[in-house]
Structure 1
Amino acid sequence: MFNKLKWIDKNRVFIVFTLILIVQLYAVYYLVKNIYYKNKNVKGLVVMNTISKEDITYKPLKNLLYYYELNSNIEEVISPWAKYKAKYTINSDTLNERYEYKENKDNKVYRIITLGDSYTFGLYVNTENNWTEILEDMLNNSIVEKNICEKYNKVEIINLGVYGYDIQYSVERFNQRGKKYNPDLIIWLLKHDDTRQIADLINKAVVDKSDYYQELIKNKYETNLTDVQKGALIWDIAHEEIQNTLGVQKIFTIQNEILKNFNKTYKGKIVVVTFPNTPNEDKNFLKEYVKNRPNSNYFETIDIFSDKKLYFLNDYHPTKEGHEAIADDIYSYIISNNIISCN
């Protein structure tokens, strides 16, 4: 009898986390709400194959029940709306990176860590075409090869971005994967929705109210939606409900406490980056955080959404050209503001 109950309990855990995994895979799509709510018609919506669920591992924590990471040492090929197949190379530390990085760095190495969600991870583009990798090459070319900065002979950028991550997930990612690299600088890209997203609450709502959301979609939208389209809608509806229930200011208070704890872990230099289309209320939240934290900078990067070549029209993620534009803009900011001190 005991063994039977134990088997049932394990099965229940497996089912729950499989459902959560599906939702997280869908999370990257939730920006498509503009298409759904504007047209109420999804026949023309094109969707892509996202990262395989076999390449993701859930690692539930006491404070983050739905925490997950990509598996290490894998290559993932997806077929997005682009004309080519995007290829991610995940290194031994679960990072979307071209290289392996040793924990202990030489004094002549300037090390940067990047935090963020799918826009930092580099969704839909090859690993080497991500803005973090391009920026790494640009900094090495100018600071190192052109001997602009004699203090350093190498710049490393270690990308901790993961699609679907919110602020708290990114902090946990840094604690688990980033802190050991002892960075000299953190660049944290937070776009317009990141400051209002609390992933664990959204995931819990999706799991607890799955039947309700399925029925809501069945009655309100076309019946021929794909699983991906349903997942996008469910994530978006849950996200909106959480925001309406808590209110923006309450969410900002929660985020502020998370960032205060992050400040205790990392006291070094940080650049918070956002896009010009981020709502002023959210920009002010980020500016206030930077204002109250030593060694911090706020920067609005290029508006990639003003040029259709720079983002995928289907869900607004940067194209290869968009990543190049972001890298170039952040590079100019770093150099012109002497973020990497050579003194």
Structure 2
Amino acid sequence: MTTCELEQKDIGTFPGVTLFTKRQAPGMRPTAVYLPPKHLTTATKFDVVLWLHGFYVRDHEYLFRNDPARLREQVRDSGRDVVLIAPFLGYEYAVGESFAGNYSVKDLASAKWGERYLDEILGALARWLAPALGTGSGFGTKPGSETVPQLQIGKLIIACHSGGGNGMRNLVGSLGKYQPNLSACWGFDCLYGAMAQPDDATFWYQWLSGQSTCALEIVYGPSTLSQSVKLDLIGRGLATLDGDRALSSRPALKNLNVSVGHYDAFPAFGQMVRVNDLDPAYVDRFMIPQVADQAPLGHKPASHHGEFLKKAISNVRDAFPFPKDIHYMIARGGFYGRLNKL
């Protein structure tokens, strides 16, 4: 089994504590960890956000320093006391019309992968924090020479961006003993699985239908619009899994929120102003197809082959002018906005 050890970097150049697994001791996955300025290093129980990145991330240090999502900045600016843990999932990049690289999230679906991974990172973090907790002689002491404290997770949130959506789908089933800690899943422009079995919208609808304590929030752009709109409509009881209009009333999932992406911030009066989520009622006015009349009572309509959903998807594409850099705007603004509500 590969040893997992953390080392601090970016000292004095970025607020808070930034830790990376050592390249010679990466553990199950090379990982980046961020403790914001508000976090007390003496705390033994804390909330965790587990971030699953998408393509174009070169390594785990790049994820914090160079990725356009600017994860540490969102946590810092939110002022929330959460520990950010981000495993490196591989580097995938475009080559012409296809992709190349070693990005993979298949192992996240293996039995208790999430439990084993979190145990490993918490153990490495505990060894690094031991001096601050009064159980070691000082930072940098030789691993194993101090008493290692027991760290615990309070609330666990899984957040993902882009290709990380498949990882989040895999991870929710492998958390093991940490499953009860899972309070929310946040997906930012991540529902690409139209060809998966079942597709992403169906998977998340069925998974969420069996949850009572976990919420799912999805923010989408043009590349993930189809599956996101489908999840939104079936989650609110407005469409069937086949994409037809639901003829009988079904209760909406109260723990689901799907919203369209937009500018995360804009300059005004000499400062950058952050933008809140769009009013869902406003989005509905241009998304949901209008029906001229209802079918007669007792009438069994012929199959519509998902025309209701197709029209809703088309309506959103035609009506909403997505900004050019919407993909990373969603990651930045969506992540910050949800952190800010904790």
TM over 0.5: no
TM-score bucket (shorter structure): 0.3 to 0.5
Structure with bigger helix share is: 1
TM-score using structure 2 length: 0.37
Q: Which has the larger radius of gyration?
A: 2
- Taking structure 1 as the reference length, the TM-score comes to 0.37
